[in-house]
Structure 1
Amino acid sequence: MADAASRLRSLAEQVLGTPLPVRVRAWDGSEAGPPDAPALVFHNRRALRRLLFKPGELGLARAWVSGDLDIDGDLYTALEAVAGLVWERGDDARTLAQAVRDPAVRAAARDLLKLAGPPLPPAPPREEIRRPRRRLHTRRTDRRAVSHHYDVGNDFYEIVLGPSMVYSCAYWEDGGTLESAQRDKLGLVCAKLGLKEGQRLLDVGCGWGSMAIHAAREHGVRVVGVTLSQEQAAHARKRVADEGLTDRVEIRVQDYRDVVDGPFDAVSSIGMAEHVGAARYLEYASRLYALLKPGGRLLNHQIARRPERDETAYEVDRFIDSYVFPDGELAPLGTTVTQLERAGFEVRDVEALREHYARTLRRWVVNLEADWDRAVRLAGFGRARVWRLYMAASALAFERNRIGVNQVLAVRTPESGASGLPPRPRTWHG
């Protein structure tokens, strides 16, 4: 069909009930839409079939990951432009199955299907995880989910994260580098935990060992770091040996639920609790409470979502669950604090770092794009595209206040009531 772009754009606007805020470039080379706007590039009809079969976030993700759909122009501008059509409407809003009752719109939807052509539907990209939604967050399913996300390859993560190898929100100052911001974040965590020489620290979800190494080297503590990722553990152990810290740092491939050699003076959990799941969160908090000495501190660094008016209607992010963090769940900050308190903790400080995570993610995207060809060789075309979309979209989600990230400092306060915290705890920022 000649001028497929104009036809596609016109029909899509009829179905959606709103003008498209982007240009459209179709498989026949035709274009339609605002000349200064970023373009959605439909390399083939299959891209349209993917969007029609799964309207909303999942269809967009499948078309992007497979390479059937691309963006010509600034990625962030394009994602902001389509946010109102995808993320802010929800996957079920105005789908072809329930669209509108207007016969003209139903006719437009039928014409879109004709324009897409057979066959329908296309198979999902091989990077998509499909599994039954039964018995989430067992030890076996958690190992599988962690392996999917973290065992992509240490060399790939070195491209994205840089030398710090810290896969969580940095703590920025104006003019700082990613490495200095990550070092400052680790220092902030250690200050909040009040680490002193000779103490024992449990680092839950220790990643590539950065927190464990920093705490042992800078504060003289003995650290047990646990992860479910074999690749992370191997990399972390090598870094520990290279730093000459094998007498102070032990890295284990172990579920936190299986740690039995407490008590510890402090526990750090940085970017791990998102994997725990709502049904297991009280168990998680109670287990960490039991592993602490009286007076011991927990620093829980965790992404939070905004609460729903009806929490029973909450659904996990389809793209994130299918391609990035299988079985991951975000909770509102208030829910997290409540569960920590139910486990026995006294919550003493909450610090929001939302803008810091947006800046961190944008820096990671810069790193990935700067070494794109090597990243594709290491992780594969589809997986590299998953990470680029996930990090860019997440940066915008933090900037738009759709999600946040918080450091919660909690204490296993002894019966005497002496928390051990300084009278002005925020002096750790000095």
Structure 2
Amino acid sequence: MKSQSLQQSVTDILATADIKINGPDPWDLHVHDDRFYKRVLSQGTLGLGESYMDGWWDCDSIDEFVNKAFRADLYRKARFGWKTVMEILLAKVTNLQTKRKAVDNIQRHYDLGNHLYQLMLDKRMTYTCGYWKNADNLDQAQENKMDLICRKIGLQPGQRVLDIGCGWGSFAKFAAERYGATVVGITISQEQLKLGREMCAGLPVELRFQDYRDVNEKFDHIVSIGMAEAVGYRNLRTYMQVAARCLSDEGFFLLHTIGHPFSKTSPDPFIDKYIFPNCLIPSLKQLGAAMEHLFIVEDLHNFGAYYDPTLMAWFHNFDHNWEQLKGEYDERFYRMWKYYLLSSAGSMRSRNNQLWQMVLSKKGVVGGYESVR
């Protein structure tokens, strides 16, 4: 296909979403290298992201470009190169989240350096969607989210809570300080563990380097906030079995996860290669099948629209503090991280991805569970 024909093909596809090449609107693409057209047509979302990292195109508002692309279903029309097709097939027949692989997957993202996350996140270092109801800043939105979780599980002083995928211990610290809970948090990131222990010093909080599959103790409640995406659909049943095994009969399991409206067995190629290796956003069908005969769904709360302002706040912090990070990361990393944050915001804004909080019980609440918002 000649260069002009390639350009016309991309132009025609983008036009269905009201996106132009070198147009005047902030969501229009400004192409600097004509190789962009062949790359994006042959490699789909991976080629789109990589060509941005390479400086082949720019956009004043990547988040809105992605929002418009999803709303027009452009991503469903994306083509995949042979390598991506092979990776999709591989994900269907192999477990990409074994204990050994899981450590490598997590470390490739969360061990990039605590300094990056300290400058990007809120003061408590909470790397999940905030709850923006009655909040006008990131710090308040994240505290609202953690308080919401504590209220949803009916947390009482002295109760023992397991936090599966505890990050830097933000929830553990909050639950101990505000609700008088005793918390055990598990992570497989050494960088998170080191800083998390410092942040939770002096509190009834124990942070461990431990795979969730190795936990075999009883807890009054369990929370898992932004962890299920790293489990992989092949391990969701085991994940639910561990939670059921460790939860008291009268307790709650609060599952907080990004959700996809239909089931997939492989992640977005760009996110998989550069951001969250071998992670997969689950669907309700996949989660439902994994919890059969283990849990009753007491409450399902979708506040995915709140991930848009959360991600935009993270990008603002990252961009504002880039001068302090330049010595640790290069310009290509800056473009990669910018594309990741803004494209994720656009995906959430378009409602392509959701954010679910599920309150689960083992035997069902007699008389019913009263939803908390």
Q: Return the TM-score normalized by structure 2.
A: 0.88
Q: Are positions 1:40 and 2:29 aligned together? A: yes
CA contact (8 A) 1:50 1:62 kept: no
Q: Which residue of 2 aligns with 1:350?
A: 300
Q: Which residue of 1 aligns with 2:314?
A: 364
> Residue 13 and residue 348 in structure 1: after superposition, are their counterparts in 2 closer, same or farther (change >3 A)?
same
Which of residues 302, 311, 317 is equivalent to 2:257?
A: 302
> Residue 88 and residue 137 in structure 1: after superposition, are their counterparts in 2 closer, same or farther (change >3 A)?
same
Q: Are positions 1:293 and 2:280 aligned together? A: no
Once the two structures are superposed, residues 16-64 of structure 1 have per-residue CA deviations (whole angstroms, 9 ceiling, x without a partner) of 654655554xxxxxxxx4344555344446655643652x111111111
Once the two structures are superposed, residues 76-95 of structure 1 have per-residue CA deviations (whole angstroms, 9 ceiling, x without a partner) of 33334555585241234xx8
Larger of the two Rg values belongs to structure: 1
Cα distance, 1:176 vs structure 2: 2.1
Q: Are positions 1:158 and 2:158 aligned together? A: no
> Residue 348 and residue 208 in structure 1: after superposition, are their counterparts in 2 closer, same or farther (change >3 A)?
same
Cα distance, 1:357 vs structure 2: 1.3
> Residue 296 and residue 166 in structure 1: after superposition, are their counterparts in 2 closer, same or farther (change >3 A)?
same
Partner Cα separation in structure 1 for residue 167 and residue 10 of structure 2: 45
Partner Cα separation in structure 2 for residue 222 and residue 371 of structure 1: 35
> Residue 37 and residue 287 in structure 1: after superposition, are their counterparts in 2 closer, same or farther (change >3 A)?
closer
Q: How does 1:211-290 map to 2 (within 5 A)?
A: 211-241=171-201, 244-245=202-203, 248-260=204-216, 262-290=217-245
Which of residues 154, 159, 167 is equivalent to 1:207?
A: 167
Q: Are positions 1:332 and 2:283 aligned together? A: yes
Cα distance, 1:159 vs structure 2: 1.7
Q: Which residue of 2 aligns with 1:113?
A: none
Partner Cα separation in structure 2 for residue 408 and residue 318 of structure 1: 28
Q: Secondary structure at the match of 2:200?
A: helix
Which of residues 373, 382, 401 is equivalent to 2:323?
A: 373
CA contact (8 A) 2:172 2:184 kept: yes
CA RMSD in angstroms, aligned pairs only: 2.9
> Residue 85 and residue 299 in structure 1: after superposition, are their counterparts in 2 closer, same or farther (change >3 A)?
closer
Specify the code of the residue in structure 1 equivalent to 2:281: L
How many pairs are equivalent?
A: 364
Q: Which residue of 1 aligns with 2:99?
A: 139
Q: Return the TM-score normalized by structure 1.
A: 0.77
Q: Secondary structure at the match of 1:355?
A: helix
Which of residues 350, 355, 370 is equivalent to 1:425?
A: 370
Which of residues 316, 336, 347 is equivalent to 2:267?
A: 316
CA contact (8 A) 2:232 2:279 kept: yes
Once the two structures are superposed, residues 353-396 of structure 1 have per-residue CA deviations (whole angstroms, 9 ceiling, x without a partner) of 11111221121112122222333433433333222212211222
Partner Cα separation in structure 1 for residue 211 and residue 137 of structure 2: 33
Which of residues 188, 210, 214 is equivalent to 2:148?
A: 188
CA contact (8 A) 1:38 1:74 kept: yes
Partner Cα separation in structure 2 for residue 157 and residue 19 of structure 1: 34
> Residue 9 and residue 164 in structure 1: after superposition, are their counterparts in 2 closer, same or farther (change >3 A)?
farther
Partner Cα separation in structure 1 for residue 10 and residue 27 of structure 2: 21
Q: Which residue of 2 aligns with 1:74?
A: 61
CA contact (8 A) 1:212 1:225 kept: yes
Specify the code of the residue in structure 2 equivalent to 1:61: G
Partner Cα separation in structure 2 for residue 202 and residue 249 of structure 1: 10
Once the two structures are superposed, residues 144-185 of structure 1 have per-residue CA deviations (whole angstroms, 9 ceiling, x without a partner) of 000011111111011221312101111112552110110010
